[in-house]
Structure 1
Amino acid sequence: MPDTPPSPQSTPVDPDQVRALRAFNRFYTQRTGLLDPYLGSAFSLTEVRVLYELAHHTPCTASELGRRLLLDAGYLSRIVRRFTGAGWITRSPLPGDARQHALGLTPQGRAAFEPLQQRSRDEAAHLLAPLAPDQRQALVSALARAQRLLAPDAPAPARTAVLRDVRPGDMGWVVQQHGEIYAREYGWNSEFEALVAEIAAGMIRRHDPAWERGWIAELDGERVGSVFVVRKSETEAQLRLLILSPAARGLGLGARLADECLAFARAKGYRKMVLWTNSILSAARAIYAKRGFTLVHSEAHHGYGKDLVGETWELAL
């Protein structure tokens, strides 16, 4: 009979492979700034991970937090106590079990964490920037494969999707996403990005918080979509700049963004909502049609380097 292949546990590990893995660990921690202090901040990597978990998985008990981060209970308790003293963490009795407390970030805690998260995003983008698009995808695929090999039984991580208010810096991201996505998927030229930049600038300058609002969709802490309600008149609102990045499609976020707009407009007493789009944007048109919008006018035009058909849609509220 043929020999039975040795189990992974009984297979000796090649010392050269051990050295290779350790060499990669040293390379990666140096290149990504993971050594203390974290990315030049006053925090350790562990402290930033605590803030990250509380920003994206709340409410969360201390025991749950410890399991996620594989932290010693005493060490974690000292971090939580210090952050609570700084006014960054809230503690409230867990419903159904008064012996445990649900932890969450206060607005001050989120304000402390957000610059660190943005710095981490910027550092990751800086590492990927020199690579060609196919090289970036190859690297991301290799990292995903490494994660599956090292944790084959781990369940797929739950994705966290939230809609939040617009913050400083978001409008620049909205303009960038419109420029990149429409160039890549429809071949539109920079005229479109310029138009979106003008719209965004006007919305910032003339924003009326009593009657207008915007939302940013985040998936696992990353911006993936946007939408805005602007006031056209006392009775008419306009839906603007609805966009969703490819990585977030198919999760219902586009529909959620549209529904938030409609709920806000109805609560404010608007009688009608209007929007302008183009006939080739089939996914967006499907969202509008499903919510009762009707096409009231269409007109051929040449814009953004393409022959297009512009459309006006309306919905009585």
Structure 2
Amino acid sequence: MAVESTQVAQVRTFNRFYTKVIGVLQSGLAGTPHTLTEARVLYELAHADHGSTDHGSTDHGSADHGSAVDVAGLRRLLGLDAGYLSRILGRFESAGLVTREPSATDARRQLVRLTGDGRSAFAALDAAQVAAVERLLAPLADTEGRRMLAAMDTIRQTLGDSPGRPGFVLRPPEPGDLGWVVARHGALYAAEYGWDARFEGMVAQIVADFAAAGDQRRQAAWIAEVDGEPAGCVFCVAENDTTAKLRLLLVEPSARGAGVGARLVEECLRFAGRAGYRRITLWTNDVLASARRIYERAGFRLDGEEPHHSFGRDLVGQNWSREL
């Protein structure tokens, strides 16, 4: 992207604000005697005990000492100047928090490990940081907290972090979610399939009918939430007294591949069975290949298809159903 001076200023303003919020400018992090960099070094040394870091060491230590970590690997992991890291480790060694020794297999390598006092110091630091984050989050409403955490995740992932597949929860719609369903259907189907505003209008009518009916015994909807933000949806409504209809299955691109769509369909089927329906149907279009695979795996069978021109495109509509 072409970077403008106002964008640079915005990032720098955020950095100044957030470093103040988390106390980086203070002499000690979260009220402890350790700086942010020292805290990160202690973190990596402490977590080497659990095998969660890989610094090239195979020495797992004794009952009184943690696993040994290769100093050069630690420096590369944290991106620290060799002299700066050496001074930090020197201070830790003087305080009895770490020991340093040459590698038994390569005298050119230096290993460092936490002592018992070092593990205690990290435990106190970790507890202080947890308490500080709790104080930060506690005044926020649930929706504010979820938005902030999702924004943090977005920053982290955009700048190169690569977490595993996202976890998700299913919940009933909350105020504002029905509008989200309409907006995201309109935006995603326009971007991915070129469908025009008539599709968004159809979705709006389906959602409006659902809200107006207010029949919680015979209809339901679910929102899939990832990191505090809506990431998918599905609706179950009545077609007639014995037949339910699955409608408006959607999964955000960022949440695809994590089983969100299959889980939404499964929940819809479970509800339809509990509500006393004997059969469930759905209408889709042949271009929606990913959704079709989900329906097939859930036991739906194609009943028929017919060409039509809708939403500004030539499409093939499909009717699917299954017994419950």
Matches within 5 A, 1:230-309: 230-309=237-316
Match of 2:143 among 111, 114, 129: 114
1:170–1:299 Cα change, 3 Å: same
Say if 2:79 is the partner of 1:72. Answer: no
Deviations 1:219-270 (A, max 9, x none): 2222110001111222111101000011111111110000001111111221
Deviations 1:27-66 (A, max 9, x none): 1156789859xxxxxxxxxxxxxxxxxxxxxxxxxxxxx9
Whether the 8 Å contact between 1:29 and 1:35 is mirrored in structure 2 is no
The residue aligned with 1:183 is 190
Matches within 5 A, 1:214-229: 214-229=221-236
**Which amino acid is 2:285 matched to?**
N
Deviations 1:141-187 (A, max 9, x none): 7622xx68xxxxxxx46732111111110011111111111111111
Give the CA deviation at 1:77.
Answer: 11
**Distance in 1 separating the partners of 2:173 and 2:286:** 28
SS at match of 1:287: helix
SS at match of 1:72: helix
Structure of larger gyration radius: 2
- In the TM superposition, structure 1's runs of 4+ consecutive aligned residues that sit over 4 Å from their partners are 23-26, 29-36, 73-80, 118-121, 139-142
The residue aligned with 2:59 is none
Match of 1:27 among 13, 35, 38: 13
**Distance in 2 separating the partners of 1:232 and 1:215:** 18
Give the CA deviation at 1:74.
Answer: 9.5
1:266–1:33 Cα change, 3 Å: farther
The residue aligned with 2:159 is 143
Q: How many residues align?
A: 215
Whether the 8 Å contact between 1:160 and 1:221 is mirrored in structure 2 is no
Match of 1:195 among 202, 205, 214: 202
SS at match of 1:269: coil
The residue aligned with 1:101 is none
SS at match of 2:159: helix
SS at match of 1:310: strand
Q: Which runs of 5+ in 2 are unaligned?
A: 1-8, 23-121
**Which amino acid is 1:184 matched to?**
A
Give the CA deviation at 1:285.
Answer: 0.9
Whether the 8 Å contact between 1:166 and 1:214 is mirrored in structure 2 is yes
Whether the 8 Å contact between 2:149 and 2:228 is mirrored in structure 1 is no
The residue aligned with 1:171 is 178
Whether the 8 Å contact between 2:185 and 2:203 is mirrored in structure 1 is yes
Whether the 8 Å contact between 1:217 and 1:224 is mirrored in structure 2 is yes
**Distance in 2 separating the partners of 1:201 and 1:33:** 45
Say if 2:159 is the partner of 1:159. Answer: no
Give the CA deviation at 1:211.
Answer: 1.4
**Distance in 2 separating the partners of 1:246 and 1:266:** 29
SS at match of 1:203: helix
Give the CA deviation at 1:24.
Answer: 8.6
1:255–1:158 Cα change, 3 Å: closer
SS at match of 1:28: helix
Instruction: Tell me how large the CA RMSD over aligned residues is.
Output: 3.7
1:276–1:31 Cα change, 3 Å: farther
Deviations 1:258-312 (A, max 9, x none): 0001111111221000111011111111111112211112111111110011111
1:140–1:185 Cα change, 3 Å: farther
Q: Which runs of 5+ in 1 are unaligned?
A: 1-22, 37-65, 84-108, 126-136, 149-155
Deviations 1:87-129 (A, max 9, x none): xxxxxxxxxxxxxxxxxxxxxx9x93224434787xx69xxxx
Whether the 8 Å contact between 2:165 and 2:258 is mirrored in structure 1 is no
**Distance in 2 separating the partners of 1:71 and 1:235:** 56
**Distance in 2 separating the partners of 1:77 and 1:31:** 16
1:78–1:253 Cα change, 3 Å: closer
**Distance in 2 separating the partners of 1:29 and 1:262:** 47
Whether the 8 Å contact between 1:179 and 1:193 is mirrored in structure 2 is yes
SS at match of 1:193: helix
